[in-house]
Structure 1
Amino acid sequence: MRDRPAPATVSARLRAHARARTAGHWLALVAGAAAMGMSGCTLGPDYVRPTVDVPAVHRFAQAAPPQGQPPTLAALPAWWAGFGDAELDALVGEALAANHDLRVATARVDEFAARVVSTHSQALPQVGYGASGGRQQVGNVTAGSYTAVLSASWELDLWGRIRREDEAARANLMATEQARLGVALTLVSAVVSGYVTLLDLDRRLEISRATLEGRRRNVEVFQIRLDGGAVSDFEMMQVTAEYETAASSIPDLERAIAQQEHALSALVGRNPGPIARGATLLSLEPVPVPAGLPSELVTRRPDILQSEQQLVAANALVGAARALYFPTVSLTGFGGSASSELDGLFSGGARTWSFAGQLLGPLFAGGAIDSANAQAEARREQALAIYQQTIQAAFRDVSDSLAAIQYTRGVVDSLERRVEALRRAVVLATERYDNGYSDYLEVLDTERSLFSAELALTAARGDGYRSLVNLYRALGGDWIAPSVPLPANAGAPAGTDATTGPDAPGTRSSSG
């Protein structure tokens, strides 16, 4: 005959069976909830890149290279190295490392990467804990109450609201990264252009000082002639006035140079100070203009990619707004222990648990949900118009830069011929004056024209280099990416594709 189990043993077995059954219910409910969440639809339109009218070629672009040779765009990892100036290379590197605007943009990428994690966490169960304790006395009876519980809650994303918000957050992160690259592109362009302007001003100062020195010698010669009675006081005053005119231009140029150095110092994150030069405006290496540029290159510009990702985000939020019409389903539960004595809370306390499902849906919201959907639709239309406008502006920038390069080259050629002609004219006018065939006014007029032409030639050469910088900026600056890598902590959450591009902007769920 089999012995009967002791009562305590039976009670323990019943409690164990009850716990197992409860655990089974939890597992079954969680599995069912997961299946419901995964089978839920995603409301709203999936993103499709809009069709944009893109010209086949850029206006004023050079002819395409022979077949089989690719365009020469960005042949160097850092295109500005083509100028052959080590000081410029160092200045750009310093700016990329220390510029405050770029540091702000990088920190914003980190912020939006954290927002992606925060948004993504809404789709996961939220687990917490809690504890409470207290004692009270009623008459001669003192009683205590202590509890310790673990709680969990989970909103089932049946209509894809959280998935759409997660898609929008990822698109905003990518837009912020493109904004960072745009800041880097603008920064490099500003440093290179500012450096060219500095060399331009240096050359103007050099011309002005050479002119001033020539006129100083004229003053000395005319003073000797005046003392000898060979020239009049009027001619002496004319020579002296021209000397002072040249002298008055030098302080303005020196001020402009100092201010340009201060502007470059700010760009590279320094306090105001001098900027080292490695080359002169005349010794800069010519960087060839890319030939046969396909028009699709411009669509890689950071501002275009940023605008598209903002459109992706706005499109995703339309689906999130549509989900507001439907109920939210959430599961909550807790389990723990309760006891009248603190030291018996985990040893002899009573076990307690609770599990509940909740469904909440709108019946009447006074038009708030309709308004939220109308706002989301309007924001998407705004983002679409901005995207199309950004692309058109990009093509205009490229065409403007190509036109400036083409026509500035003609201006430089013409001014070089004019300067050469005026230098010869100054020699001839001086010979005519020395031989008595003309007065000195003819010499002064020719010298003034030469001085103005030399300054204009220097400005035109500077404009040519600045137009080249503008062209590379207009083409999108894909050479910036290797120079300013994305911070290691700014990637997408684990288990996601951090390299998703505009052709795959995020969630591609089917509409519900």
Structure 2
Amino acid sequence: MRKLLFTTATVCLLGSCGIYNRYERPELSVAADSLYRTEVKADTASSVADLSWKELFTDPYLQALIQQALEMNTDLRIAYLKVKEMQAQLVSAKLAYLPSVQLDPQGTLSSLDGSKASKTYEVGASASWEIDIFGKLTNAKRSARAALEESDAYRQAVQTQLIATVADSYYTLLMLDEQERITSETVASWKDYVHSLYVLMQAGEADRATVSQAEASRASAEASLLSLQQQIAETENSLSSVLGEVSHRIQRGNLSNQRFPQRLSTGVPLELLSRRPDIRQAEAALKQAFYATNQARAAFYPSITLSGSAGWTNNGEAVVTNPGSWLLQAIGSLVQPIFNRGQNIANLKTAKAQQEEALLTFRQSLLDAGKEVNNALIQWQTARERIRLDEEQVKHLQTTVHDTELLMEYGTTNYLQVLTARQSLLSARLDCASDCYQEIQGVINLYHALGGGAEADL
């Protein structure tokens, strides 16, 4: 009999070796190959994400807004609370290794047919301890630690997104301010032009159709100005909400004074594994799924629990003696699943499928990260080139407007040429402001795509 028990225990122990395995990062081709469209050179190992957000965003107004958002934003504060929840669960998982102890005092008072009441009491304590031979508690603790890692990565993801959102909203306001200024100048210019046409019409050198067309263009510019002012107010309202405040005007600088690095580097693709919080979050979820599979395997093996109780009692005497007789009890139990084996098999299959899902999600998160980095680089590079062309276009159109106005004044051209030139100049100036914002947004998106700001200090 002893040999049989020993043999059975040995087989169980050998068969359960796999449930103690630790998670190891899987081999992924997307992690080894370049995730970027252009090859990374040896001298570009550093990344723009190595800069702190204060080094990248030097505008003092923006720095104050980001700092306020890190302190007051509701989503980020909730994310911090979730981290605390996971920390408490990890502590609970660690304490599961210790015995549970409880006091069990009780007393009775009984009487039969009016006889003298008998008094009985027991004052005892009991304890139980589950021996973690087959890794149930170990895998639960490791899963809890992975859950904490996932929660903290989520908190960092919220933080990087928050910094990017505040910066993007701020620069959107600067772009809208610039477009509002350009449109306001255009409205003023149209008013002067209309006034000039009225003077020419009174002198018989311009007709009513020309004046009406100019008035319509002036009204169109004023309508555009109102739309821009509405967008500014709505953007300020959105940013105020992100800051955890009621809607108010946002104090800010201007678009022309913003300065950013003239050269942006991405670093090596493998840095995304350690820097991007969403990738760390996906890998932490993969860890949890790995240990959940181990827990499902552990369910096939016995659960061994040691328990005992000790105390003293007075047994049925009318007068309570103190102390009474000692009570001692010790129990060892082994529970081996038999009839629920089908359920355990189903649980294991489910856990394996969920682990495979987590692996695919982890792999896709790497691909998505590479895509975001590539898109941000293309956006930044394209915007820089467009700004150069916009400035060249504005310069030529300013000359065109000046020349056509002179030609119309001396009667060698008509108002349509002036109107076309003015509308083209307005559009070009607005496009230039928009492309300046696109360049800045490319910097923000690249910083966010590379995981910058994840370790921001509060």
Using the size of structure 1 for normalisation, the TM-score is 0.82
**Structure 2 counterpart of 1:50, from 26, 40, 54:** 26
Name the counterpart of 1:502.
Answer: none
Contact 1:63 1:291 in 2 (8 A): no
Identity of aligned residues (%): 28
What CA distance in whole angstroms lies between the structure 1 residues aligned with 2:266 and 2:222?
48
Contact 1:205 1:253 in 2 (8 A): yes
Name the counterpart of 1:168.
Answer: 143
What CA distance in whole angstroms lies between the structure 2 residues aligned with 1:446 and 1:62?
45
> How many residues align structurally?
440
Following TM superposition, by how much is the alpha carbon of 1:416 offset from its aligned partner in structure 2, in angstroms? 1.1
Name the counterpart of 1:296.
Answer: 270
What CA distance in whole angstroms lies between the structure 2 residues aligned with 1:93 and 1:129?
51
Matched to 1:106, the amino acid is Y
**Structure 2 counterpart of 1:353, from 328, 341, 345:** 328
- Are residues 232 and 251 of structure 1, via their aligned partners in 2, closer, same or farther at CA, if it must alter by over 3 Å? same
- Are residues 43 and 76 of structure 1, via their aligned partners in 2, closer, same or farther at CA, if it must alter by over 3 Å? closer
Q: Deviations over 1:55-100 (max 9, x none)?
A: 34722578664xxx86253454325x43431110000000000000
- Are residues 329 and 260 of structure 1, via their aligned partners in 2, closer, same or farther at CA, if it must alter by over 3 Å? same
- Are residues 298 and 70 of structure 1, via their aligned partners in 2, closer, same or farther at CA, if it must alter by over 3 Å? closer
Q: What stretches of structure 1 of length at least 5 have no aligned partner?
A: 1-36, 485-512
2:70 is equivalent to residue 92 of structure 1: no
Matched to 1:335, the amino acid is A
Q: What stretches of structure 2 of length at least 5 have no aligned partner?
A: 1-12
Q: Deviations over 1:303-343 (max 9, x none)?
A: 00111111111111111111111111101101011125799
- Are residues 381 and 241 of structure 1, via their aligned partners in 2, closer, same or farther at CA, if it must alter by over 3 Å? same
Name the counterpart of 1:406.
Answer: 381
Secondary structure of the structure 2 residue equivalent to 1:294: coil
2:158 is equivalent to residue 183 of structure 1: yes
Contact 2:278 2:365 in 1 (8 A): yes
Q: Deviations over 1:208-238 (max 9, x none)?
A: 0000001111112222222232211111111
**Structure 2 counterpart of 1:372, from 347, 353, 364:** 347
What CA distance in whole angstroms lies between the structure 2 residues aligned with 1:361 and 1:286?
66
- Are residues 98 and 342 of structure 1, via their aligned partners in 2, closer, same or farther at CA, if it must alter by over 3 Å? farther
Name the counterpart of 1:421.
Answer: 396
The correspondence of residues 16-95 of structure 1 with structure 2, limited to 5 A, is: 43=19, 45-53=21-29, 54=31, 55-56=33-34, 58-60=36-38, 65=43, 71=46, 73-74=48-49, 76-79=51-54, 81-95=55-69
2:235 is equivalent to residue 260 of structure 1: yes
Contact 2:157 2:277 in 1 (8 A): yes
Name the counterpart of 1:450.
Answer: 425
Secondary structure of the structure 2 residue equivalent to 1:274: coil
Name the counterpart of 1:316.
Answer: 291
Q: Name the stretch that deviates more: 265-274 or 228-237.
A: 228-237
Matched to 1:209, the amino acid is S
2:115 is equivalent to residue 133 of structure 1: no
Following TM superposition, by how much is the alpha carbon of 1:442 offset from its aligned partner in structure 2, in angstroms? 0.5
Name the counterpart of 2:435.
Answer: 460
Contact 2:35 2:370 in 1 (8 A): no
What CA distance in whole angstroms lies between the structure 2 residues aligned with 1:366 and 1:452?
73
Q: Name the stretch that deviates more: 393-402 or 331-340.
A: 331-340
Matched to 2:164, the amino acid is S
Q: Deviations over 1:317-371 (max 9, x none)?
A: 11111111111110110101112579956x3311111111011111121610100
Following TM superposition, by how much is the alpha carbon of 1:206 offset from its aligned partner in structure 2, in angstroms? 0.5
Q: Deviations over 1:375-424 (max 9, x none)?
A: 11111001100000101110111011111111111111111111111011
